[in-house]
Amino acid sequence: MDATDLVVSLGGTTILDGVSLSVEAGELVGLVGPNGAGKTTLLRTLAGYLTPDAGSVRVDGDDVHALTSKAASRRVAVVPQSSAFSFDFAVHDVVAMGRHPYRSRLRPADDADGAARVEAALERCELTDLADRPVTAVSGGERRRVLLARALAQDTLVTLLDEPTAGLDVNHQIRTLDLIRDLVDDGRRAVAAIHDLGLAARYCDRLVVLSGGCVHAAGPPAEVVTRDALRDAFDATTAVGTDPVTGTPSVTPLTHPADRDAHVHVLGAGDAAVGLLEPLVTAGYRVTVGPVVDGGLDHEAARRLDRPAVTTPPFGAVSDDAFERAAAYCRGADVVVVPDDARAVGANARLVAVADETVIVDDAHAAVRGLVADALRRSGTTSASAE
């Protein structure tokens, strides 16, 4: 599939302006972007449902918008965002609807090959045991697999998916995307609008970032999912790191720095400080950390969240220079936070002594936000920070 310089207007408003993308066999292309960016409009245009004011969409060399509806449906399958059904069709019958583009008045019934494709789609999507059940009687995640099976039975060159994980729990999100990934790995082409940036980066070969109807960035996830690209497209502040399990980009949305003006310094040792950093950064505080061991867990967490850190060499004592830099952070901070089991580690005891306001945390998780807010209220630092 090749889409070139698409311009689409609806109600006198330009929704897509010069959008181009391509998808090759064995490739999953993800569409990401803020609400109203034009993702659904682009999918509808790629499917041939909307005719562009300019530009073209070609599949296997043919202009989708010049084809009949059935001919277009033999090339492009669509999995909609909504999985609601108004009638109690059996799961098997819904999947068999994917064969409709191959039927005609001269051949109203499907042939043996078509029937085999329906059975294969049911099996591939783990729906064989549900084939005779009403589609309205299965779960939301199962209905999403029914729609995928229908698209699979349709046997097209390209599959378009609009928010395939919307409304699903974590288990069904992963199962759905694993299934899509497996189908693509078998040589199919797919384009999917995906809301979750982390999942999009994990499963897609390439990402296209849409904002304001234009392509802001396109390429492999590691090149596209950056703080600058996400700021420009979403007008959002984020921390972008690498997921330690999948090795793909991970994204943490942050409160805009202007929302808080309190400086919080975190003392810690190893993973004791790791659990403190993310909730404080996510809350929008100006967070510094240290001294921490260079390359340690807390240092890596600070680096991932783009927070300043005072570091010391592994297996070495805290140098005078590192101590003075950490002490300067402690003196300048509105609040110094230290895990209870790290108060006596290294230079932490001396650093706590130079702080004006200290919070001792025995549960290094989100509770720290409330403790810091209470400390800021007591000191009268900012009302915004104490929300």
Whether 238 and 270 share a structural domain? no
Whether 127 and 33 share a structural domain? yes
Q: How many domains, in total, are found in the chain?
A: 2
Whether 57 and 186 share a structural domain? yes
For residue 339, say if its preceding peptide bond is cis, omega within 30 degrees of 0: no
Cα separation, 118 vs 319, in Å, equals: 70
Bridge partners for 241 per DSSP = 250
What lies within 8 Å, CB to CB, of 129 at 6+ separation is none
- Is residue 219 very low, low, confident or very high in pLDDT (cuts 50, 70, 90)? very high
Whether 241 and 316 share a structural domain? no
Domain termination residue (choose one: 251, 274, 308): 251
Q: What is the pLDDT of residues 129-180, one digit of tens each?
A: 999 999 989 988 889 999 999 999 999 999 999 999 888 888 889 999 999 9
Q: What is the pLDDT of residues 124-136, one digit of tens each?
A: 999 999 999 999 8
What CATH number is given to the structural domain containing 318?
A: 3.40.50
Range of 61-65, 112-116, 310-314, 353-357 with top mean pLDDT: 61-65
Which residues in 209-224 are b (16+ Cβ under 10 Å) and which e?
bbbebbbbbbeebeeb
The three-state secondary structure class of 215 is strand
Q: What is the pLDDT of residues 13-59, one digit of tens each?
A: 999 999 999 999 999 999 999 988 999 999 999 999 999 999 999 99
Domain termination residue (choose one: 251, 274, 306): 251
Whether 166 and 265 share a structural domain? no
Whether 233 and 360 share a structural domain? no
Is the pLDDT confidence value at 105 over 70?
A: no
Is the pLDDT confidence value at 253 over 90?
A: no
Domain termination residue (choose one: 251, 284, 310): 251
**Residue 231's pLDDT is what?**
86
Rounded mean pLDDT of 110-134? 89
**Residue 85's pLDDT is what?**
81
Whether 50 and 159 share a structural domain? yes
**Residue 379's pLDDT is what?**
64
Whether 240 and 275 share a structural domain? no
Cα separation, 287 vs 283, in Å, equals: 10
Which residues in 139-177 are b (16+ Cβ under 10 Å) and which e?
eebbbbbbbbbbbbbbbbebbbbbbbbbebeeebbebbb
Whether 227 and 341 share a structural domain? no
Whether 188 and 272 share a structural domain? no
What CATH number is given to the structural domain containing 246?
A: 3.40.50.300
- Per the model's pLDDT, the better-predicted residue between 106 and 82 turns out to be 82
Whether 273 and 236 share a structural domain? no
Query: Domain containing 228: what range?
Result: 2-251
Is the pLDDT confidence value at 201 over 50?
A: yes
Whether 286 and 221 share a structural domain? no
pTM reported for the whole predicted model? 0.71
